[in-house]
Amino acid sequence: MPLSARTVHDRTIMMANQVEEMQVKDIYAAPFFSLALDESTDFITHPNECSLNTADLSYIPGVSVRDFEAEVADLKASDMWVNKFKSLNEDLERIARQKAELASKHMWTEMKNLQPEDQLIIKTWNALPVTYHTLQRVSIAVLTMFGSTYACEQSFSDLKNIKSNLRSRLTDESLNACMKLNLTKYQPDYKAISKSMQHQKSH
C-alpha cells in the first residue's frame, strides 16, 4: 500500500525519536560518559591545575579515589612534574602555532611532518614514575575515549547520499531523522510503534 509523503515523514520522525531515546539511555549508562562531557579532559595536559569529579572515577576499573587524590596532591607538590607538564603545554602551544602558520600557507605536507600532539602527551604520562600509577590509569581512560574521526567522515558521506539532487526538498527535520536512523546500529521497535498508531482500513 503506497504511503503519502506526509505519512513517510511522520513515521521517519517517530522512528528516529525512538532510536534517539534508546541511545540516550545507553549513553548515560556507558562508562566514561561523564568524563567525556566534562571539561575534565583538561586533566590530560594540566593535571596539576585541574580537578576531576571523583564520582566520575568510579567508572574506571581499578581506580581508588583515595589513591587518585593522594597522587594528585603529590604531583602538585612536585616542582619537577609540574614543570614537565608546563613544558608539555608550551610544546603543544608551539605545535598549534606552527600548524596554524603552515595551514595559512597551504603547506599540508609540512604540517603532517610535525610531531603529533598525542605522542607528546603520551610520552609525558609514560615518564611518570610507578608511584603515579592511578593517575596514569585515569589518563589512559580519558585518552582512549574517542579513537577516530571515522564516524564524522561517515556522517558527511551519508548526508550527501541522503540529501541528493533528487531529494533537495527534504526538510531539516526529515534530514535530521534520516541521519539519526542511518548512523546507528539501533533498530526501532516497529511493533511498539505500530501499536501506538491508528490503523487505517483499506477501502
Contact present, 63 and 32 (Cβ < 8 Å): no
Task: State pLDDT tens for residues 107-149.
Answer: 888 888 888 888 888 899 989 999 999 998 888 877 766 555 6
Task: State pLDDT tens for residues 34-86.
Answer: 444 444 467 788 888 876 666 567 777 778 889 988 999 999 999 999 999 99
Terminal-to-terminal C-alpha distance of the chain = 11
User: Whole-prediction pTM value?
Assistant: 0.52
Measured between alpha carbons, how far is 101 from 99 in angstroms, rounded to an integer?
5
pLDDT at position 14: 86
pLDDT at position 86: 94
